Amino acid sequence: MTSMPDIIFMLLFFFMVVTVLRKKDTQNQITVPTVSYAELLDRDEILPVLIHHIDEQVHYQIEAQPYADLKQLEVALKERQHSHGAQKVKLVADQTASMGIVNKVKQLLQTTHFNRVEYLVLSK
């Protein structure tokens, strides 16, 4: 039993002497992930819906047309759905937009059958 610590220390010293420490390689190449499948969409197929604040009031916009409230936005979305069919929507909100407003617009998009939505936040 008394020789056990001697053997452990001899093994410890052996591995300390034999072990080669790696130097940190600072020039590692970063591999960027690639996409095996990407959905290509025509620019006409994406409908931009913007939420932004002007003078502490929330304003909505589809393409270049501004809307003052959600009722007007709903009417415009229904007209767009009727004329163009189902489209992918890009919901763009500025940084000051609350999640309550974004959720209301999201629910409005669901009720008007715009189910493909991507989200974008604009920072100032």
Gap between the Cα atoms of 118 and 46, Å rounded: 10
Residue 35 has what pLDDT? 64
**Residue 12, pLDDT above cutoff 90:** yes
- When the pLDDT of each residue in the chain is averaged and rounded to a whole number, the result is 82
Residue 91 pairs with which residues in a beta bridge?
49, 119
Q: Which CATH number fits domain 43-122: 3.30.70, 3.30.420, 2.60.40, 3.40.50?
A: 3.30.420
Tokens of 79: 């007209």
Reported as a pLDDT band with limits 50, 70 and 90, residue 44 is low
Residue 10 has what pLDDT? 93
User: 96: which residues sit within 8 A by CB, 6+ positions away?
Assistant: 53
Reported as a pLDDT band with limits 50, 70 and 90, residue 31 is confident
Residue 13 has what pLDDT? 92
Structural contact between residues 87 and 114, judged by C-beta atoms closer than 8 angstroms? yes
Gap between the Cα atoms of 94 and 121, Å rounded: 6
User: 70: which residues sit within 8 A by CB, 6+ positions away?
Assistant: 60, 104, 105, 108
**Residue 40, pLDDT above cutoff 70:** no
For 75-105, what is each residue's pLDDT tens digit? 888 888 888 877 888 888 888 888 888 889 8
Domains in the chain: boundaries: 43-122
